[in-house]
């Protein structure tokens, strides 16, 4: 018991769960680096390929913080999730639709036409129409997961079957059906079906977090040597006997190892980073940098590609100013036509680390500016009332 108390005191500070703050920061770094050549570094990617677990880790964290109190006022909870997840995603989508139209005046062809369908329907069924905010596709299935979860739990409570094992089994069955649907009929994964299967896939990942918090966390006391030995042994078996472990949640494709392995690979990688974050907390403590990243994961998820674009604009501008003596091989045509064009000076992969920094901190800067504007507007409105 003393060991458990010591662990909690190390991993919390003023009610803040420092372990999960660090885990959130690690999670978003893994996601952003996955979009820019791994950020020019390796975060155990040879052992744990990022697309075999990256979004599952994020949903796991969301599930960990689910509270049964939400079931007492479902309407309030749904409205809270709507304000936190859905409305900002739609506002960003509208903004980037306007940005696509504006940049189109300067020869940029990135993104779809900003019509009513792409502004208000496409976010739910695909989420990648305007490209600059393509990371926001994740928000919509996560929103549905939150709503389905609270409604299902309320139903189980009404029939006196509110049990984490039941929820886990039901959600796993739903998730596996979703994956199997993509495997058996890949051409059907489009439109609203894509939204449904994404949501089905994330339901078990969400419950993994809740199940860990409610059932496993207090039993998570295995010593580090044995813990990591088991993780690496299982992962080595997966890497040896399975085809490429990575799948593509956004398009819901490449489930080459059936409908069970994706969840096993996710659980193993999550377990790895869960223990790593626990071990690092005593050394890192309540780091301002970690908190800055962890507290802005939503903005980073949505705006990371704009961060990359800002760096590419820097290269483009310097190339123009110096008449090509600097970065003369910068491909302007690709820059204006593909969100996935990355300019790496001299072909050096190390420049991917600079893309990672821009992908993290430009969105954070955007969030800070927006928060300051909102605070000013709120203060002005309050003063007028006085």
Number of helices (H), then strands (E), in the chain: 16, 2
Contact (CB, 8 A) for 211 and 168? yes
The predicted pLDDT at position 40 comes to 85
The predicted pLDDT at position 6 comes to 47
Cα dihedral sign, 340-344-346-349: negative
Q: What is the pTM of this model?
A: 0.92
> How far apart, in whole angstroms, are the C-alpha atoms of residue 199 and residue 195?
6
> CA 372 → CA 100, 279, 295, 375, 381, distances in Å?
26, 35, 15, 5, 14
Owner of token pair 């301002």? 288
Tokens of 320: 């123009």
Q: How confident is the prediction along the chain (386 residues), in pLDDT tens digits per residue?
A: 334 444 544 576 667 899 999 999 999 999 999 999 998 888 889 999 999 999 999 999 999 999 999 999 999 999 999 999 999 999 999 999 999 999 999 999 999 999 999 999 999 888 889 999 999 999 999 999 999 999 999 999 999 999 999 999 999 999 999 999 999 999 999 989 999 999 999 999 999 999 999 999 999 999 999 999 999 999 999 999 998 999 999 999 999 999 999 999 999 999 999 999 999 999 999 999 999 999 999 999 999 999 999 999 999 999 999 998 999 999 999 999 999 999 999 999 999 999 999 999 999 999 999 999 988 887 665 445 55
Contact (CB, 8 A) for 360 and 300? yes
User: What is the phi-psi region of residue 163: left when phi exceeds 0, alpha when psi lies from -120 to 50, beta otherwise?
Assistant: beta
> How far apart, in whole angstroms, are the C-alpha atoms of residue 123 and residue 121?
6
Query: Number of C-alpha atoms within 13 angstroms, CB side, residue 104?
Result: 13
Query: What are φ and ψ of residue 246, in 5° steps?
Result: -75, 140
Tokens of 342: 């990355």
Q: Would you tell me how many other CB atoms lie within 10 Å of the CB of residue 44?
A: 15
Chain centroid to CA 178: 20
Contact (CB, 8 A) for 133 and 92? yes
The residues, any chain, with a CB within 8 Å of residue 334's CB and separated by 6 or more, are 341
> How far apart, in whole angstroms, are the C-alpha atoms of residue 139 and residue 126?
11
Compute the radius of gyration of the chain from its Cα atoms: 22
Contact (CB, 8 A) for 330 and 315? yes
């Amino acid at each position: 018991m003393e060991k458990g108390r010591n662990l909690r005191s190390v991993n919390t500070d003023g009610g803040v769960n420092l372990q999960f703050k660090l885990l959130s920061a690690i999670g978003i770094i893994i996601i952003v680096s996955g979009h820019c050549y791994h950020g020019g570094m390796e975060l155990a990617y040879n052992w744990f390929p990022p697309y075999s677990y990256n979004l599952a880790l994020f949903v796991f964290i969301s599930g960990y913080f689910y509270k049964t109190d939400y079931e007492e006022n479902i309407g309030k909870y749904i409205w809270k999730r709507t304000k936190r997840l859905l409305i900002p995603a739609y506002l960003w989508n509208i903004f980037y639709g306007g940005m696509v139209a504006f940049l189109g005046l300067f020869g940029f062809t990135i993104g779809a036409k900003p019509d009513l369908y792409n502004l208000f329907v496409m976010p739910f069924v695909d989420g990648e129409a305007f490209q600059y905010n393509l990371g926001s596709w994740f928000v919509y299935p996560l929103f549905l997961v939150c709503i389905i979860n609270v409604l299902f739990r309320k139903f189980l409570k009404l029939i006196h079957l509110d049990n984490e094992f039941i929820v886990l089994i039901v959600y796993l069955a739903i998730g596996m059906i979703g994956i199997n649907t993509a495997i058996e009929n890949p051409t059907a994964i489009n439109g609203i079906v894509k939204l449904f299967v994404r949501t089905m896939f994330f339901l078990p990942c969400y419950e993994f977090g809740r199940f860990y918090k409610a059932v496993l966390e207090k039993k998570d006391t295995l010593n580090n040597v044995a813990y990591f030995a088991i993780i690496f042994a299982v992962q080595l078996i997966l890497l040896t006997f399975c085809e490429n472990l990575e799948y593509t949640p956004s398009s819901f494709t490449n489930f080459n190892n059936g409908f069970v392995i994706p969840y096993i690979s996710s659980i193993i990688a999550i377990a790895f980073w869960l223990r790593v974050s626990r071990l690092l907390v005593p050394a890192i403590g309540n780091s301002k940098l970690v908190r800055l990243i962890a507290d802005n994961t939503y903005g980073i998820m949505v705006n990371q590609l704009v961060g990359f674009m800002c760096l590419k604009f820097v290269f483009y501008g310097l190339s123009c100013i110096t008449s090509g003596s600097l970065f003369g091989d910068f491909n302007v045509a690709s820059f204006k036509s593909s969100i996935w064009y990355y300019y790496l000076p001299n072909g050096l992969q190390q420049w991917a680390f600079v893309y990672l920094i821009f992908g993290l901190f430009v969105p954070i800067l955007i969030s800070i500016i927006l928060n300051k504007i909102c605070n000013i507007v709120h203060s002005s409105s309050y003063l007028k009332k006085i």
